[in-house]
Amino acid sequence: MPTPAAFSITTPTSSFGGVDTPRGPIPDHAPAWNRQRRSQMPSHRYRDVFSRVDVRATYRRWPDNRLTEAPLWVPVDLRDGNQALPEPMDPDRKQRMFELMVAMGYKEIEIGYPSASATDFAFVRLIAETALAPDDVTLVVFTPARRDLIERTIESIRGITNPVVVHLYTATAPVWREVVLAQSRSDLLDLILRGGRDMLEFAGDLPNVRFEFSPEVFNLTEPDFALEVCNAMTRLWDASPDRPVVLNLPATVEVATPNVYADQIEYMHTHLDRRESVILSVHPHNDRGTGVACAELAVLAGAQRVEGCLFGNGERTGNVDIATLALNLHAQGVDPMIDFSDIDEIRRVVEEVNRIELHPRHPYAGDLVHTAFSGTHQDAIAKGFAQHRHAAADAGVAVADAAWAVPYLPIDPTDLGRTYDEVIRVNSQSGKGGIAYLLAEEYGIDLPRRLQINFAREVQRHTDAEGSEIDAATLWRLFSRRYMSPRSETTAAVQVEPLTWHRSRLTASGGGLFLTIVEWRAGDDHDWSAGTGVSESAADTAALAGAGRS
């Protein structure tokens, strides 16, 4: 067996490419325990959000609110997610994704940008001409505020009997107005209203059609202008409770902490005209890595609808992950209204359609999210599983129906169609608890606690030398080699005193045999030995045959 590589002290070298170790002064106000230095990063080039947009200071109600029900989820994978793919979806992949979302229970789905490509237009027409969409699924199509593109969009939905939302968008933030659109506030408002009137002209008489408006880059738009534009649109479209307008407020580029976005949403929620006739929607992106937090706080602040993508696909760092959002609710005892009972199948389809693999640490869906390698975590999880089984038995309910309270596992992996096989895995960071758990689950061996400590040293030597993960079969081989080898002739005559006996019935993986573990003392020696047999007495004999070995 190879020996583990030894660590040696060497002179540090600059071997990390362009990494430039901070060499500025330690700030005068820094406490003695914080020795961080000023870096060479050009942070002076950027302004914080409060320098870029007026964030209205209002009395905050949202911090006192709780998430008690799911918002309306609107997956935008077929449009926003698709336009971010290196290889956009072909018709078959679009259909596969759509069918998956219907099967999961989504009741409003954005199906495309029909004026942008022939593929998207054809897919909308496929839905119009087939029974792909159940009657209770609302279909959303997306269009910019251009008359010809609006007309093309409405043409694509002709004949659809499902409820339809036509989604109009225009960027409203100052940089976009000045750099991209070259429009003043008043000019841009006129442009948006013209688009709104075009939608009324082409689709206002369609009884199954409602309208949605997004002031793109809402989070960098002046609050008074965002409010002015949104109120103008609900007034133009005559929003009413029986034909509400969706006002979707995107964090198109995430630029601030989630509490700032929540303040912006709450300001709109409390100041919009015709509030009872508005479905307040959000569409966070994930540029700062806090898209999920932005969406959750936005719902606390009054949002009723959330647009995003399964597992967070989308431009740059992605749209908000509506799978994580939904399962966060599930973990708090709130029905997400969407089914994730076979998350590996869902992930497989999404990876196949997007042609992008999920990270193994992706929340809820990654390969390793329910896996513990750390010894302390494994020990706590193993004890938690045992307590969970006992609590279920005491309550007279099935294990799958018992209240979940297992350390380090926020939800039961079986809720997502997974097993406990991958929860505890063993490497050089693992401890006795994980080792004992794997042997118990795979082979039915109940290791005494003191033997767990003893055997963990043997496993540690192996993992340190090999540097890799080991499975239950390898643990069994190590156990057999260490505790089941017979005594040599020179030690066979040593007087052995058995101290404790521990008996198990091995599972099919262990051949269905009986296993006996004996703790013994022989003179100054103290150790353990084990043996198997077709009966308890045969296993006892085999175990004693190894006792007293040198």
Q: Are 326 and 365 in contact (CB under 8 A)?
A: no
Taking residues 419-426, what's their average pLDDT? 65
Q: Are 305 and 280 in contact (CB under 8 A)?
A: yes
- The encoded tokens of residue 540 equal 């006892």
Q: Are 249 and 272 in contact (CB under 8 A)?
A: no
Q: How far apart are CA 418 and CA 412, in angstroms?
A: 9
According to the model, what pLDDT value does residue 193 have?
98
Q: Are 100 and 71 in contact (CB under 8 A)?
A: no
Question: What phi and psi, each to the nearest 5 degrees, are found at residue 530?
Answer: -145, 160
Q: Are 94 and 117 in contact (CB under 8 A)?
A: no
* SS3 sequence of 179-221: HHHCCCHHHHHHHHHHHHHHHHHHHCCCCCEEEEEEEECHHHC
How far, in Å, are 60, 282, 474 from residue 392 at the CA level?
Answer: 42, 40, 32
- Position 111 pLDDT exceeds 70: yes
According to the model, what pLDDT value does residue 262 have?
97
- Interstrand relation of 108-112 and 138-144 (parallel, antiparallel or unpaired): parallel
Q: What is the pLDDT of residues 450-487, one digit of tens each?
A: 788 888 888 888 877 777 777 888 888 889 888 987 66
**Coil, strand, or helix at residue 361?**
coil
User: How far, rounded to the nearest angstrom, does the alpha carbon of residue 150 sit from its chain's CA centroid?
Assistant: 36
Bridge partners, residue 139, by sequence: 109, 164
Q: How far apart are CA 408 and CA 383, in angstroms?
A: 11
According to the model, what pLDDT value does residue 92 have?
95
According to the model, what pLDDT value does residue 497 have?
86
- Position 254 pLDDT exceeds 90: yes
Only one residue has tokens 């002179």, namely: 11
**Coil, strand, or helix at residue 411?**
coil
Instruction: Find the helix or strand (DSSP H, E) in which 520 lies.
Output: strand 514-522
Give 457: exposed, middle or buried? Use CB within 10 Å, 0-12, 13-18, 19+.
exposed
Q: What ranges in 372-524 are assigned the alpha helix state H?
A: 375-395, 432-443, 449-466, 472-483
Q: Could you tell me the pLDDT band of residue 550, with boundaries at 50, 70 and 90?
A: very low
Taking residues 30-40, what's their average pLDDT? 95
> Between residues 298 and 504, which one has the greater pLDDT?
298
Taking residues 208-234, what's their average pLDDT? 97
* SS3 sequence of 153-188: HHHHHCCCCCCEEEEEEEECCHHHHHHHHCCCHHHH
End-to-end Cα spacing for the chain: 20
Taking residues 30-59, what's their average pLDDT? 90
- Position 121 pLDDT exceeds 80: yes
Q: What ranges in 257-395 are assigned the alpha helix state H?
A: 258-271, 291-300, 322-331, 343-354, 375-395
- Position 94 pLDDT exceeds 50: yes
> Between residues 369 and 211, which one has the greater pLDDT?
211
Question: What phi and psi, each to the nearest 5 degrees, are found at residue 247?
Answer: -105, 110
- The encoded tokens of residue 475 equal 């643990």
Q: Could you tell me the pLDDT band of residue 16, with boundaries at 50, 70 and 90?
A: confident
- Position 113 pLDDT exceeds 90: yes
According to the model, what pLDDT value does residue 327 have?
98
Residues in the chain, how many?
550
Q: How far apart are CA 320 and CA 283, in angstroms?
A: 7
Q: How far apart are CA 329 and CA 66, in angstroms?
A: 11
- Position 211 pLDDT exceeds 80: yes
- The encoded tokens of residue 139 equal 């279909």
Q: Could you tell me the pLDDT band of residue 425, with boundaries at 50, 70 and 90?
A: low
> Between residues 549 and 514, which one has the greater pLDDT?
514
Helix pair 258-271, 223-236: axis angle to 10 deg:
40
Q: Could you tell me the pLDDT band of residue 429, with boundaries at 50, 70 and 90?
A: low
- Position 173 pLDDT exceeds 70: yes
- Position 490 pLDDT exceeds 50: no
- Position 417 pLDDT exceeds 80: yes
How high does pLDDT run on average in the chain? 90
- Position 402 pLDDT exceeds 80: yes
- The encoded tokens of residue 179 equal 């750099």
